[in-house]
Amino acid sequence: MPTFETSAGTVAYDERGEGRPLVFLPAGAHDRHDFDELRAALPGGWRTIALDWPGHGESSAGRGRADAMAFADAAEELVEGVAPGGAVVVGNSVGGFAAARLALRRPELVAGLVLVDAGGFAARTPLLRGFCAAMSRPAFLRRIYPAFARRYMRARTAADRRALEAAVATTRAAPGLDAVAGLWGSFASPEHDLRRQAGSIAAPTLVVWGRHDPVIPVRVGRRAAATIPGADLVVLETGHVPQTGDPEGFAAALAPFADRAFEAAGRRAGA
Amino acid sequence: MSESHRWRSPLLGEPLLLDLPQGQMEAFRRGAGPPLVFAHGWLANANLWRGVVDRLADRFACIVLDLPLGAHRLPLDEGADLSAEGCGALIGAALDELGLEDVTLVGNDSGGAYSQIAVSRGAVPVARLVLTSCETPYDEFPPPPFDGLPAAARDPATLGRLLAALEDPAVRKLPAAFGLLVKHPLDPLASDAYALPCLHDPGVLRDTAKAMAGASTAAVRRAGAALIETWERPALLVWSREDPVFPVAHARRYAAALPAAELVEIEDSYSFVPEDQPQALAAAIAAFVGG
């Protein structure tokens, strides 16, 4: 398993295939295997790279307190390291936040942006702030996570069930529990709110959302797609993790989008 | 303006108006037989019990209180005490006013906390206590993720801004709202009737803010300790095995500690057991009371 040193800790990642790079960033409490079925469903011609966040999957505990901005920094450093010429970056939930933040900060690294039930685009209501505060406490998070994950996974596929089991396991004990609690502690912060900057995202963007996501409702995705210039929206009949709920449907939208994104990037580079 | 926030299910039976020292409070009555009195919790109302009442009214007198906890229609008097002890006293006053004997008191969620406080104060004609997915002496009142509400509720305007998000039915389904309290889809009529009254009536919001700001873990601990020590009448705990908010482990411990309690665990439900599993709950109550 290759690893990569980031400011947030050492992250494990894997690479499959040859071709233009696609980077996959999972949700909090989740690991890179959430993208196994999607990666397998893509046609040839892609070099796919997926990471495990600090404290998740095969990565070791992170450096310092986990939060969404630190994870986004880690993702930025990884993409710069493994795909310095630019990649299509696919991020689910906090991974989507990290991908969008990367597109804003380092547009040259993001040939295309795929936001999947992404964080950073929901209104920071007092209700949400209260929930994030509760979820940032490890004892409560550990207790609630099995029911919470069942709710947002709406598991129908074998991949859903694997992801559900792994996410619950991540929140059973350190370091995963503390990492996920840290993430939740940052979800209501102003730095996590990308709504005002969304209109400045220049990368070609595909927004993929689960119609039945009970954590970040689909209309948040619709609004993000309406705000980001030229963004396309695909709604799948899944919960919060469309890549395990409908990998074929996701792949059918992702492959042509990524083709177009790299063609556009090539034209920009040639111009 | 739509009146959906005032909806009450016809399954609840005839409306009653109780004149209490704290003000006027609504209740509903259906059926005849041994009396069952039902107490809901925060951001719910009598509608919570409609499916349970409908399954028991052929054998029991079902009286459902419409407590001033955020989804009621009639604000109480401005000076009404809605501290945790005050809400317990309010249930006691309602039982008094109803003039019932040999009552089985059934409480869910914070209505269960207030029921324990009411019974532990004594002087209420409660013969049996049924608690279903609510605070025990081992839980915080309110439990997370709702434990930020008391601080917000110290200022009704702040609470009002927080609850304003519930105007949107999609927001109500979030885990931050009803998403971890109700497992199965809520009837839209009931959902409106739970979520909207605070947004429509400043008097309702004032009552709600008082009740939420007055929540007290210590009061539930005291009540639980008193019941464990001295309450030898039958108690039934009906608990969702997968309740994410009120862990079943606490119910097991409480049932073992109470002098005469039994525990029925039920499947496929969150804390709003009367919404998620009215049939199982009604069956457990009927078997317990003997109807």
Greatest pairwise CA separation for chain A in angstroms? 55
Strands, E, within chain B: which ranges?
A: 14-20, 23-30, 35-39, 61-65, 103-108, 126-132, 235-240, 261-266
Mean pLDDT, chain A, whole residue set: 97
| Proportion of chain A above pLDDT 70, given as a percent | 100
The per-residue pLDDT for range B213-224, each reduced to its tens digit, is: 999 999 999 999
Element holding A167 (H helix, E strand): helix A158-170
Q: Which of A84, A9, A111, A109 is nearest to A51 (CA)?
A: A9
The tokens describing B26, both together, are 């609504």
Q: What amino acid is encoded at A199 in this protein?
A: G
Report the 3 state secondary structure along B162-180: HHHHHHCHHHHCCCCCCCC
Interface test with chain B among A93, A117, A125, A145, by most B beta carbons within 10 Å: A125
Show the DSSP H helices in A8-156 as ranges: 36-41, 68-82, 94-105, 126-135, 138-153
A126 touches chain B (CB under 8 A): yes
Contact of A9 with A62, CB cutoff 8 Å: yes
Per the CB < 8 Å rule, is A126 touching B165? Answer: yes
Judged by average pLDDT, the poorest of A262-271, B237-246, B275-284 is A262-271
B151 touches chain A (CB under 8 A): no
A140 touches chain B (CB under 8 A): yes
CA distance A78 to chain B (A): 33
The per-residue pLDDT for range A92-124, each reduced to its tens digit, is: 999 999 999 999 999 999 999 999 999 999 999
pLDDT at B1: 47
CA distance B176 to chain A (A): 5
pLDDT at A231: 98
Domains and CATH numbers, chain B: 4-289 (3.40.50.1820)
| ipTM confidence | 0.86
Interface test with chain B among A125, A127, A151, by most B beta carbons within 10 Å: A127
Per the CB < 8 Å rule, is A135 touching B145? Answer: yes
pLDDT at B125: 87
Task: pLDDT band for A179, please (50, 70, 90 cuts).
Answer: very high
Q: d(Cα A65, Cα A47) in Å, to the nearest integer?
A: 32
Q: d(Cα B161, Cα B163) in Å, to the nearest integer?
A: 6
Report the 3 state secondary structure along B214-275: CCCHHHHHHHHHHHHHHCCCCEEEEEECCCCCCCHHHHHHHHHHCCCEEEEEECCCCCCHHH
pLDDT at A271: 67
Q: Which of A246, A248, A240 is nearest to A211 (CA)?
A: A240
The per-residue pLDDT for range B165-195, each reduced to its tens digit, is: 999 998 999 999 999 999 999 999 999 999 9
Task: pLDDT band for B129, please (50, 70, 90 cuts).
Answer: very high
Per the CB < 8 Å rule, is A130 touching B146? Answer: yes
A212 touches chain B (CB under 8 A): no
* Chain B residue whose CA is closest to A130: B148
Q: How many CB pairs under 8 A join A and B?
A: 73
Greatest pairwise CA separation for chain B in angstroms? 51
Terminal-to-terminal C-alpha distance of chain A: 39
Contact of A162 with A36, CB cutoff 8 Å: no
pLDDT at B2: 67
The tokens describing A111, both together, are 């040939």
Element holding B87 (H helix, E strand): helix B84-98
Q: Does residue B291 surpass a pLDDT of 70?
A: no
Kindly state the DSSP code that residue B116 receives in the 8-state scheme. Answer: H
The domain over range A3-270 is classified in CATH as 3.20.20.150: no
Q: d(Cα B98, Cα A252) in Å, to the nearest integer?
A: 65
Residue A195 backbone dihedrals phi, psi, to 5 degrees: -60, -40
Task: pLDDT band for B212, please (50, 70, 90 cuts).
Answer: very high
Partner residue facing A140 (CB), from B144, B174, B179: B144
